[in-house]
Structure 1
Amino acid sequence: MQHTKIMLASQSIAKHRGIPMSSTPQTQLEAFVMNEHQSQYKLPSLHQMLQELVAARSVSSYTPSKDESNKAVIDLLCEWCENIGMTTHVQKVAEGKYNLIAQIVPNENQFDPNLKGIMFAGHTDTVGYMEDDWNTDPFDLKIINDEWFGLGVCDMKGFFPIALQAIAETLNEQGKDTLKAPITLIATSDEETTMDGARALSKLNIKSHQVIIGEPSDGQAIYAHKGVLTTKLIIKGVRGHASNPSLGANAIEAAHWVIGKVMDWKKEWQTTHVNHTFKIPHPTFNFGCIHGGDNSNVICDKCELMLDMRLLPNMPQAMLDQEFKQRLQGMEEAVPGTSLEIITQEFCPPYEETQVPAFSKLLTDLTQQPLVSTNFVTEAPFLQEQGHHPFILGPGSIDWAHKPNERLALSKIQPLINQLKACLKSIS
């Protein structure tokens, strides 16, 4: 692993800045706010780490004027990883966008080539925000009624201090010499938009790991989620005066035909593609946007549809591309003079992890709950494609992600630290 040190925003962030306190008794907060690790591998307090991460803006947006770099977050994580003896490598994904790969490798005489390492993974970016909708400053971490408030606290900057704390405590309690496989921490860019950070990791050829992705999972370990395919359908016709339909070809009429075919497809798959491990057991189809025409007395010459499809595991993109072509190929005949262009806007594959039963059992034992599936999308399929075995287990609830007053209950912190430490002990 290449060792790289980047000198970015954290050098200008004052250490030990003032910490906002609430009426919560100090005894409940002191482990998170007051104490630094006083052993060989030292970190700032959990509160200070999360406070600095929340203050480091890293919004991802498809709107260029709202899109922000994640360099400040990467720099903070890089510094803390090096403080606990991890080797760091920073990968440039795009201008202003970076991944961090930090790792501790066991001594050569302890290394077990048959044992997979443990990887803690997450994304450094957040969604955008409307400041007027927040009751607090979204970039200033606050404690209110035993909860942390701030943009990204559960989705998912809050995971990184917890993961680092688990690594530091494990090294202090056991020492590096007991490790038989690597400990790796991955921090990516652009999960909230393109997933380009997770895709870029494939260039690094990281040895296969068992992975915990720290997305908010409400205390349950997740082994599967649906995929998402976002498709733009561009229908072109011929413009003309509405008094004589033969003068043109109506793109809206062709769109009506297309929507009908997709709805037939939707109804068919509700019975032919079913997986009861999901709360909604079949693929879902949603037309979320339509634009077409400019006046009622003009034959519409262009209509655009946006379609969101949520997919079950084992539904690859190639299969979907073929389905689109087959099901919509009759449009030009049904509405002569029109044409159809199908553009894939986004594809995140579905994912299901069933290849590491021993680690699956460890997670069910630690959470005291069965593994579950979910409908939201993560970076898991991209890590899986790279040979890893990902599961999702993180603090907080997805119900507070992507909305004002995002929060994380303090009661969720210590149980997750203990669970991550147990995962690390499995490779000692």
Structure 2
Amino acid sequence: MSEGDSRVADELEESFKLLKHLGRGGFADTWQAQVLDQELIEEFGRDEVALKIPLNRKKEQVLKRELAMNAALHLRLKDLQSRNLVRYLGFDKFRNKIVMVMEYVGQGSLRRMTGEIGRQKPLPVDEAVEIAEGILSGLMVIHQEHVFHRDIKPENILMDGRTPKIADLGIARMLDANELASTSIGSLPYMSPEILGKEGASFTSDIWSLGVTFYEMLTGSLPFGDMDTPPGSLIDLIRDAEPVPPAEVSTEIPTALNEIVMRALRKRASERFPSAEEMYEALKRFREASRSQVDQDIASIRELLSRPGDPCEAEERLRELVAKYPNDPRGRQYLGEFYNRCQRYEEAIATFKRGIELEPENALLHWDLALAYRGAGKRGAAAGCLEKAIALGLDAGLGRHAATLLRTLQGAEP
């Protein structure tokens, strides 16, 4: 057999086919891969995965040693299931190397949303809060298994639609602090004072790293230094300097949220939130208070819409509501209903579609979109939206109305 034939035969025997290089960290190259082995497809429950391939023989030896010494831990990690964790699927062999197999998440990382360091942009406050809550939910799960991540940063948060998923479980534990700080992406800006000192990492170190990530989402900047800050100076800032409070960077950040971020960034680990659950509950209370304010603003606008008046003023107020609460679908719903009443159907369609992106299971939004399509003369699209609205569950009276309208659109007698 020739050398070329031998290589082809080896490739045919492999369990995976590499599809796309996704990135390089301090430990491994990450590839999107197709699973070729039917038994593995059944074991993993999928035919596409992410492979972590160690960078060199030394890293592979670390991986082998980790597997031998902490087999029970990795079995527990394999059993963890949470919508906010990238599934850890186990180990296998590829091209005579031990590789880690993970769930493949195709949308990319939180870094794509925030922008590269030096070119970041802030996210809307409610979107940043929602992402932070998701990350905390994932941390709660792994902390309950007595595992801390050590490398929370935007690059290690993958986005599945609007759902954040913590990636690289088990990777950071195989790198020492110097390796973490010197990865090509750079974990140093997210490392806690105790990791950079003699104390070492703990569960509250993950709270700190999330605090840095949260600060970055809210302000579009890092709390300590920037891309031009020398590593030694950055370490000094992290250990000794106080960050500019987020509310002083952006007036859109409420005082209560500012306090949550600043508590996560306390120098002393004992002064931070003692657990991911406590920080999650603090954000939940903030969201509930914010929702109360949204309800008040919506009530004010609904009262305005119920009175005869200038439609331009009503539209301006509705647009302000959407801009103030971009991730609350109710603002889109009321603005779309306004467009329907004004027979501005194409604008209504676009507005309702955005609302449905925010809350796909909202039956009323599908009903409203059906009316907009009907007004625009798009009977087929209107019928499809009515079917969806009925399937999701409208109240009894509106459900009967929707069924009658659907039969009419489909050409049947009501």
TM superposition score normalised by structure 2? 0.24
In proportion to residue count, which structure has more helix? 2
Larger relative contact order (Cα-Cα within 8 Å, sequence gap ≥ 6): 1
